[in-house]
Amino acid sequence: MKKTLRVLIAAALAVFASACAKPAASGGYNFDAPQECLTAAAADERLREFLNVSAEFPDGDAGARLSYTESEKLAAERIESKLVSFGYEVTAQPFEFVDGVKTSRNIIAKKAAAEGGSGSVVIAANYDNYILPRYSAYGLAADPADMKKSAGAMDNGTGVAALLTLCDYYKDKNLPFGLVFLFAGAGADTTDGADKFVSEMSAAEKKSTLLAVNLRRFGGDGMYLYTDEVKRRHHGYILTAAADSGVPVSSVPKNIPMLNTQTAKTLPYSTYAMRGVHASFMAENIPVANIFSGNLNTANLSDVESKDSPNIAATPSDTYTELKNVRPDYARQMSAAAVLTAALLARPDFADAMTASRAAFNGYGIVSKIWILYLCVFALYLALVVLLASVAKRLEKKYPPVPPAAKRRPPVFGSEYEDSSDPLDPFSDSADPLDPFS
């Protein structure tokens, strides 16, 4: 028995170790070899340009870029300028915070489909930054001075750089479908920018969107792919594209219902996988691919990286200098994300695969309807009543009720003590016993 138990424990540990293994490259892609503008060096240059890194400003001068702030606005202007230099027509999509005072905006550039093409693909990244609040579950403190130190280089300067790299790559190319490059404002800790973009899409645009790709937070322990809260056909399709391209990407576990913003703050499965620009597209049944990095291997789901590579995202240490020092793989991961996206869109059956995945979608949405909840409660109540009735019937059959014997006074000689003519006299030896349930 003990031997069998040891074998089972060893097998369980082996499975756990396999599931938590750091993803390894599945092919021979060289991230430093010439691949037009998708090399690690090119991606790093896009990051330096976005942050405006220089000898005078080793961490750049983009500022903290917190949502709805002036530094976020300046970052948007810098992105616009870069897109114009690539030859794109740029559209700014402004939106307000709920108080009607603070404002932000999405920066959008589009590439038309080749002649005869149809549909579109959205490739997105949030360009703002956030820092973990004081006394949070992460155990980090944040004050105004600390917030000014964070440049958001990793989260999400790396995502912006990867997206700019793709913008550069596609500036002279046409695909059988259109491309929409979305730089979302107020997307680091909320989905305000993405919600605004999706809300202004027409029904036809939502229906014709083949895929929404989100790029975020490169330089972590490994690269991951998340596609939905339920199993989708295009998940395996994208992993196949990654393997064919030699890009190391691991799958994030699915079949987990989407968590809301407040619940998700301390769960990396939702913080890095579920929560992001792509979440707004998921709500419209648009296939998504969230490509990101981090560490999802901790058993307690805490927001930490490995011991040898501490987390810097959303902390005062999230600067370009720290990124290079403690996250040296960031440029290769940016390149890998760009290469995977380009390789995916270049597959000849891409559009058909995305359309098929969308048609086969079956999610958790119906369980969120209030009438479903009422129906479930009623069904549970009915089942409980039937169960209790069944138990009562079985008990009655097994233990049939026996009426208690009526108390009788021993007959005494002499008629003065009993009246045999009275059938209701309980003391009469000739009276019938009364019904005990009367």
For the chain, 438 residues long, the average pLDDT of each consecutive 10-residue run is 44 39 42 74 96 93 89 96 97 89 95 93 95 52 56 94 97 95 94 96 96 94 85 92 91 63 50 80 92 65 60 85 92 95 95 93 54 72 85 79 67 54 54 56
In a domain, 401, yes or no: no
Number of domains into which the chain is organized: 1
In a domain, 338, yes or no: yes
The answer as to whether 373 is a domain residue is no
Cβ atoms of 256 and 391 within 8 Å: the answer is no
DSSP track, 76-141: HHHHHHHHHHHT--EEEEEEE-TTSS-EEEEEEEEEPPPTT---EEEEEEE--B--PPTT-TT---
pTM: 0.74
Per-residue pLDDT, 53: 94
Query: Domain containing 88: what range?
Result: 23-365
Please give the distance of CA 350 from its chain centroid, rounded to a whole number: 23
Q: Which residue type sits at 299? A: A
Q: What is the pLDDT of residue 412?
A: 56
Quickly list H helices, 174-272: 192-199, 203-208, 233-245, 261-264, 268
Give the pLDDT score at 196. Answer: 96
Examine residue 156 and state whether it is found in any structural domain, yes or no.
yes
How far apart (Å, rounded) are the C-alpha atoms in residues 399 and 377? Answer: 33
Q: Is 400 part of a structural domain of the chain?
A: no
Q: Is residue 392 part of a domain?
A: no
- Residue 382 inside a domain? The answer is no
| Cα separation, 292 vs 222, whole angstroms | 8
Q: Which long-range contacts (CB under 8 A, 24 or more apart) does 259-264 make?
A: 261/189, 261/190, 261/191
Question: What whole-number distance in Å separates Cα of residue 157 and Cα of residue 125?
Answer: 9
Give the CATH number of the domain where residue 259 resides.
Answer: 3.40.630.10
Q: For residue 131, with 0-12 CB atoms within 10 Å meaning exposed, 13-18 middle and 19 or more buried, which class applies?
A: buried
Q: Does 260 fall in a domain?
A: yes
